[in-house]
Structure 1
Amino acid sequence: MEEQSDLVEACVEKWDFNWLLHRATQRVGAAYAEEIAKFGISLRGQLVLQALANEELQRTQLKLGAMLGLDKTTLTSELDKLERAGLVQRVPDPSDRRVRTPVITDKGRELQKEAGDALAEVDRAFQARFTHQEMVIIRKALQDLSRGEGPMHGSCI
Structure 2
Amino acid sequence: MMGDMDLAADHRCTRQVGLNWLLHRAAQKLGAAIQEAAAGHGITARGQLVLTALASEEFRRTQLALGHALGLDKTTLTAELDRLERAGLIQRRPDPNDRRVRVPVITDRGRAVQAEVEKVHQEVERDFTAGLEPGQRHDLRVVLERLIGSDDRPGSGSCL
- Above 0.5 in TM-score? yes
Residues 1:47 and 1:127: Cα distance change in structure 2 (over 3 Å): same
Supply the distance in 1 between the matched residues of 2:7 and 2:98 (Cα, whole angstroms): 58
The corresponding residue for 1:132 is: 134
Residue type at the aligned position of 1:90 = R
TM-score by structure 2 length? 0.88
Residue 69 (structure 1) aligned with residue 62 (structure 2): no
Superposition map of 1:1-157 within 5 A: 1=2, 6-147=8-149, 148-150=151-153, 152-157=155-160
SS at match of 1:100: strand
CA contact (8 A) 2:71 2:156 kept: no
Q: Which runs of 5+ in 2 are unaligned?
A: none
Determine the C-alpha separation between the residues in 2 that align with 1:52 and 1:40: 18
In structure 2, how many angstroms separate the alpha carbons of the residues matched to 1:76 and 1:113?
22
Q: Equivalent residue of 2:99, what SS?
A: strand
> TM-score, with normalisation over the residues of structure 1?
0.89
Partners of 1:40 and 1:70 lie apart in 2 by 20
Deviation (angstroms), 1:85: 0.8
User: Which range is displaced more, 131-140 or 72-81?
Assistant: 131-140
Gaps of 5+ in 1: none
4+ aligned runs moved over 6 Å, structure 1? none
CA distance in 2 between counterparts of 1:22 and 1:95 reads 41
Q: Tell me if the contact between 2:33 and 2:124 (Cα under 8 Å) persists in the aligned partners.
A: yes
2: distance between equivalents of 1:5 and 1:108? Answer: 37
Aligned-pair Cα RMSD in Å: 1.9
The number of residue pairs the alignment matches comes to: 157
Looking at structure 2, the residues matched to 51 and 114 of structure 1 have their Cα atoms a distance apart, in angstroms, of 15
| Partners of 1:52 and 1:3 in 2: CA distance | 41
CA contact (8 A) 2:71 2:155 kept: no
Task: Name the CA distance, whole Å, in 1 between partners of 2:138 and 2:59.
Answer: 31
CA distance in 1, matches of 2:108, 2:55: 10
Q: Deviations over 1:100-157 (max 9, x none)?
A: 1111111111111111111111112223321222123211211122122445431111
Q: Is the 8 A contact 2:89 2:108 kept in 1?
A: yes
Q: 1:38-57 CA distances to partner (integer Å, 9 max, x unpaired)? A: 11111110011111111121
Identity percentage over the alignment? 53
